[in-house]
Structure 1
Amino acid sequence: MTPQASRPLRTADVARKSGWSVQQVRDLERLGVIPPATRGANGYRSYGPAHVRALRAYRGLASAAGPVVARSLLAQALTGSLADAAAAIGAVHVRLAADRDEALRAHAALAAIEGEEREPDAGYDDAGYVDAGYVDSDVLTITQLAVALGVRTSTLRFWEQEGLLVPERVTSLRARQYGPGAVREARIVAALRSSGYGIPAVRDVVVSLRRLPGAGGGTAEVRRILDRRLDQIATRTVALLRAGADLADVLDPPTP
């Protein structure tokens, strides 16, 4: 794709119009994010409006999907078909929608946990986790907790190795037992993991929660974390919408 025939833009002009530095414009051209500049007889680069639009599209895509994905998508858009570019943008929208759904499911899990804290004698919810049939006392075995959370027992052992979960007691036969506090912590870990948080981030949250006085404050802190995640997803979605408009102009330049 070539820039429109109009008054040539210098590298500094493109940088000013797109919000990037002069060096970043050159680097992004080298990476294939924008079409190659033409060279004058004096060797200077010459750009056009298409370069500015591509750089604006890259900024939005990098905010929405990260710089690596954005570079790949822009390079594909400049060399591939319109259908391929549209499909790539659609895939980013789908990923953001999935991230939002995961965060909302984590919110629902926290609401169930908080409801049980207000009604300590109530059984665990259908969608959520521990069914009353598994609860004969205040203590669960590792198998019962795994079934309650919908994960494998090996997952619980892995969480334990990573410091995300601590059994209340390990018997002489190495059978793990989980009291109400450990079960609640496991449910928060499951909620965060299902929302896309990695092990280091979940560990930081769990360590912070263990320092907080009272159970209610813990779930409130996780709720704030998930609210921030939803805000970030919303910001990324808006950035993607803006990038889509700029990318459409790159692929199908407006008539001057």
Structure 2
Amino acid sequence: MDEQPSGRHQGPLRTADVARQSGYSLQQVRDLERLGVIPPAARSDNGYRSYTPAHVRALRAYRGLAAAVGPVEARRILPGLWTATVTEAAAAVGALHVRLAREREEALRAQEALDAVRAETGTAGIERDGDAMTITELAGALGVRPSTLRFWEQEGLLAPERVTSLRARRYDLPDIGAARIVAALRSAGYGVPAVRELLGTLHRPAGLEETRRVVRTRLDGIAARTVALLRAGSDLAAVVTTGREPPPDSGRVGVV
């Protein structure tokens, strides 16, 4: 049983009240309670659930957190916030901001690498004549291991020429440009299938620009997720501090 009899409502919140104020359905409220996203509701003698405003704020915090890191990760994180100390919970939330900042830095590095490739090769494509590199030289230039280049080749992302009787790999400038793009996209968090698909567009007239557009889209997505996390800030703070004392000296603000 979930609902108290209808009528003017004062005091504890009903499931319907929480659903209306949080924007979730009745079943979603029950499911998120079962998953530990919100604490268990008190039960009256006749079995009705009784919620508090803290439950509403927890659901709002979950909505913002899910928009920032995804619902699966949000469902993993929030139950732990209810049982952690204030210091532990605050550190967990702070780590989310750090993670998003790191993703943004990686995407910016990818964008810079793509800009460098475009500057070196022009907008018509990635091919031009010039010197070649060995696998060791290219790995050093990209800051990866030679085994990483071999893995990319196994996955169809690179296709270096094989030379000499030892079948040594030789990377011409088109291969070097492709390797730099692979490294940029992988560092920005793109999986191998996505990188393979993007590489397939490079030899089209606007191939490199399309790849840059994808990276810009990722940056826009990271910005939107960061804003969602910021909007959830006050609700997350309420979750972190509900029923717990803040750390000593938490109210002090340094003035320089």
Q: TM-score, normalised by structure 2?
A: 0.82
RMSD: 2.2
Whether 1:240 aligns to 2:240 is no
Determine the C-alpha separation between the residues in 2 that align with 1:92 and 1:102.
15
Match of 1:231 among 220, 223, 236: 220
8 Å CA contact 1:65–1:236 kept in 2: the answer is yes
Pick which of 173-182 and 219-228 moved more: 173-182
Residue type at the aligned position of 2:228: A
Instruction: State the 4+ residue runs in structure 1 displaced beyond 3 angstroms.
Output: 168-172, 250-253
Instruction: Name 1:132's counterpart in structure 2.
Output: none
8 Å CA contact 1:169–1:177 kept in 2: the answer is yes
Cα deviation code 1:161-204 (max 9, x no counterpart): 11111114455422112222211111100110111212222122
The alignment of Structure 1 onto Structure 2 pairs a total of residues equal to 229
Residue type at the aligned position of 1:146: A
8 Å CA contact 2:201–2:208 kept in 1: the answer is no
Instruction: Name 1:107's counterpart in structure 2.
Output: 111
Map 1:36-47 → 2, pairs under 5 A: 36-47=40-51
Residue type at the aligned position of 1:82: V
Match of 1:207 among 196, 200, 218: 200
Whether 1:180 aligns to 2:173 is yes
Map 1:88-99 → 2, pairs under 5 A: 88-99=92-103
Q: CA deviation at 1:99?
A: 0.6
Determine the C-alpha separation between the residues in 2 that align with 1:174 and 1:97.
42
Determine the C-alpha separation between the residues in 2 that align with 1:119 and 1:7.
66
Instruction: Name 1:87's counterpart in structure 2.
Output: 91
Cα deviation code 1:103-150 (max 9, x no counterpart): 111111111111111499xxxxxxxxxxxxxx9x53222222222212
Instruction: Name 1:11's counterpart in structure 2.
Output: 15
Determine the C-alpha separation between the residues in 1 that align with 2:164 and 2:194.
30
Structure 1 regions of 5+ residues with no counterpart?
1-5, 121-134
Structure 2 regions of 5+ residues with no counterpart?
1-9, 243-256
Determine the C-alpha separation between the residues in 2 that align with 1:23 and 1:204.
40
SS in 2 for 1:208: coil
Residue type at the aligned position of 1:188: I
Determine the C-alpha separation between the residues in 1 that align with 2:204 and 2:164.
28
Q: TM-score, normalised by structure 1?
A: 0.82
